[in-house]
Structure 1
Amino acid sequence: MITIPFTPDLTVVPEVVAFFDAPTNTISYIVKDPNSNACAVVDSVMDIDYAAGRITYDGADKIIAFIQDKGWTLEWLIETHVHADHLSAAPYIQGKLGGKLGIGENITIVQDTFGKIFNEGTAFQRDGSQFDRLFTDGDSYQIGTMTAHVMHTPGHTPACMTHIVGNAAFVGDTLFMPDGGSARADFPGGDARTLYRSIQRVLALPGKTRLFMCHDYGPNGRDIQWETTVADEIEHNIHVGKGTSEDGFVAMREARDATLAMPKLIIPALQVNMRAGKLPPKDEDGKTFLKVPVNGL
């Protein structure tokens, strides 16, 4: 039986402003309370020139400038999961605007897994303490007068959470646009059957619920899109629409995942994002390094 640990309130309509990062095909969002100046930022992006080893914040600065120009107050920075394809800018934005940083409680599983892969040693804390809040299934938090609800939707990663704010839901990598289907489930801790069941939880939300994607790749050359609805996904999603069976989805997803290359930024992204967007500690000479595990992923 599919359960939703809260009652959605579609009468609350947050203002949602999207920012598309072309190098990583990531969409970040500002979610604004219609009854106050309070807002949240979901899935921000820090820029990296991997070959040059150079970090910049052009995308994050656009989000910061937008919030400042509007006179809004940032209350939350939300990570839907530990991303493997881009680096989070949450601590940078937090340093400029304040707010609390939150992620799902199973970040500890991700930290333990990749702490070992990257040989981080005992200095790296694996208890999620780098974040201000670890969400559990059914948790809620406030963005001004709006109550945001959190639903555990693992499968892509163990820590994936969907955040529902009024009539808007931010699904991370649990779903793509209907013609994009679903995200991969072959990362450590991922599972196709678990992902199917998580998707069913999302699709059990009211049909008019707006769904906001974390990624879009413009299938078949169409323009980039990031907003759809539960009803559209149920009717048209190429992987889970029209009553696709669990076994059918698992067979499709596992076969498809076996053909996919690793994301090009997976090595830096995991090391940074498991630290809540912070770079690894500097060495005795004040330099920062990222590790490349050989045959380790």
Structure 2
Amino acid sequence: MNEAIIHSFFDEATNTVTHIVTDPSTKKAAVIDSVLDFDAKSGRTSTSSADKLIQYVEAAGLTVDWLLETHAHADHLSAAPYLKKKLGGKIGIGAHICDVQKVFKKIFNAEDISTRGEEFDHLFNDGDEFLIGELKVRVIHTPGHTPACVTYLTGKDAFVGDTLFMPDYGTARCDFPGGDAATLYQSIQRLFQLPADTRLHLCHDYPPDSRSPMWITTVEAERKHNVHVHDGVSQSAFISMREARDKTLSMPNLILPSVQINIRAGQLPPAESNGISYMKLPINAL
């Protein structure tokens, strides 16, 4: 089987990593966890980050088959609809996005949201397989951070979203609606059963001053050195640590705009009678 060519882009504004995964034999590609630039002060979106992806795809002569999300992000807006318009491809996410939609449809009183995932082109269940060109990809449901989190595994490369971070930073928070520390621990243990040399490609990095951003680690490195969940850390100890830590964390800067866009597969809310689309700010709801 071919080994994927992976080119990654780090967005400093949101600490997000977008991965372009390419089958070298067919030049078919998937874009994982894209970023639509958003200035919260002005309410304006822009496409500088996404345009860098487009430039790379066009220069490399790639055909985009998939625009994949590891989950409905709470820290950046997805650029999937913009990329689909420019490059083609189907927007895919884990099937449990429906659970996330049900929660946030009520919070945002958003009548247009389907709660059936109809905004996306494809919903993946645990164990599903699909192709990027001739690359076989397996979907692993890895909830805990959110109910809809999935990992995309092709060969020795796994794209784990927010489930794990670099060993010196730890693991995802679990205090968003539907998050659960015990569930996250079980998801991580499932990833730890992958071969030790499996490369884990992360969606975020929050580096200390002592190092530059990094987004590739391995199962072995995480099992040995992850500060939250290395081998020997029990589920009960992890839950105690994670729940205590989450109580100290502030909400992500872009959680309210991000979630209401991302549960719509990156689409803006429907324009109102004046032709303008509005994001909602629920008061005392979260």
The normalised TM-score by structure 1 is 0.95
Aligned-partner Cα distance in 1 for 2:107–2:210: 37
Aligned-partner Cα distance in 1 for 2:207–2:2: 30
Would you say the 8 A contact 2:2–2:134 is kept in 1? Answer: no
Task: Find the counterpart in structure 1 of residue 115 from structure 2.
Answer: 126
Aligned-partner Cα distance in 1 for 2:249–2:107: 21
Task: Find the counterpart in structure 1 of residue 48 from structure 2.
Answer: 58
Superposed CA deviations along residues 172-223 of structure 1, whole A, max 9, x for unmatched, are 0100011110010000000000000000111110011110000001035311
Aligned-partner Cα distance in 2 for 1:220–1:193: 31
* Pairing 1:235–2:233 present: no
Would you say the 8 A contact 1:12–1:167 is kept in 2? Answer: no
Aligned-partner Cα distance in 1 for 2:173–2:284: 21
Aligned-partner Cα distance in 2 for 1:254–1:209: 28
Aligned-partner Cα distance in 1 for 2:136–2:3: 11
Task: Find the counterpart in structure 1 of residue 248 from structure 2.
Answer: 259
Q: Which amino acid aligns with 1:236?
A: H
* Pairing 1:114–2:137 present: no
Aligned-partner Cα distance in 1 for 2:113–2:39: 25
Deviation at 1:165, TM superposition (A): 1.2
Aligned-partner Cα distance in 2 for 1:193–1:221: 31
Would you say the 8 A contact 2:144–2:184 is kept in 1? Answer: yes
Superposed CA deviations along residues 154-177 of structure 1, whole A, max 9, x for unmatched, are 000000000001110000010001
Question: SS of the counterpart of 2:200?
Answer: strand
Q: Which amino acid aligns with 1:18?
A: S
Task: Find the counterpart in structure 2 of residue 3 from structure 1.
Answer: none
* Pairing 1:160–2:149 present: yes
Would you say the 8 A contact 1:14–1:167 is kept in 2? Answer: no
* Pairing 1:75–2:34 present: no
Aligned-partner Cα distance in 2 for 1:67–1:97: 8
Question: SS of the counterpart of 1:193?
Answer: helix
- Structure 2 unaligned runs (5+)? none
Runs of 4+ in 1 over 4 A off after TM superposition: none
Deviation at 1:12, TM superposition (A): 4.1
Task: Find the counterpart in structure 2 of residue 149 from structure 1.
Answer: 138
Q: Which amino acid aligns with 2:24?
A: P
Q: Which amino acid aligns with 2:27?
A: N
Task: Find the counterpart in structure 2 of residue 90 from structure 1.
Answer: 80
* Pairing 1:40–2:36 present: no
Aligned-partner Cα distance in 2 for 1:115–1:234: 37
- Structure 1 unaligned runs (5+)? 1-10
Question: SS of the counterpart of 2:233?
Answer: coil
Task: Find the counterpart in structure 2 of residue 14 from structure 1.
Answer: 4
Would you say the 8 A contact 1:179–1:238 is kept in 2? Answer: yes
Aligned-partner Cα distance in 2 for 1:216–1:128: 28
* Pairing 1:219–2:219 present: no
Aligned-partner Cα distance in 2 for 1:250–1:12: 39
Task: Find the counterpart in structure 2 of residue 176 from structure 1.
Answer: 165
Task: Find the counterpart in structure 2 of residue 4 from structure 1.
Answer: none
Would you say the 8 A contact 2:36–2:47 is kept in 1? Answer: yes
Q: Equivalent pairs: percent with the same residue?
A: 54
Superposed CA deviations along residues 85-137 of structure 1, whole A, max 9, x for unmatched, are 0000001001001011100001011001000000112x321110011110000
Aligned-partner Cα distance in 2 for 1:50–1:184: 23
Task: Find the counterpart in structure 2 of residue 105 from structure 1.
Answer: 95
* Pairing 1:247–2:240 present: no
Deviation at 1:242, TM superposition (A): 2.6
Aligned-partner Cα distance in 1 for 2:25–2:194: 24
Aligned-partner Cα distance in 1 for 2:118–2:75: 23
Q: Which amino acid aligns with 1:205?
A: L
Question: SS of the counterpart of 2:185?
Answer: helix
Aligned-partner Cα distance in 2 for 1:152–1:186: 19
Would you say the 8 A contact 1:177–1:228 is kept in 2? Answer: yes
Q: Which amino acid aligns with 1:285?
A: N
Report how many residues are paired. 286
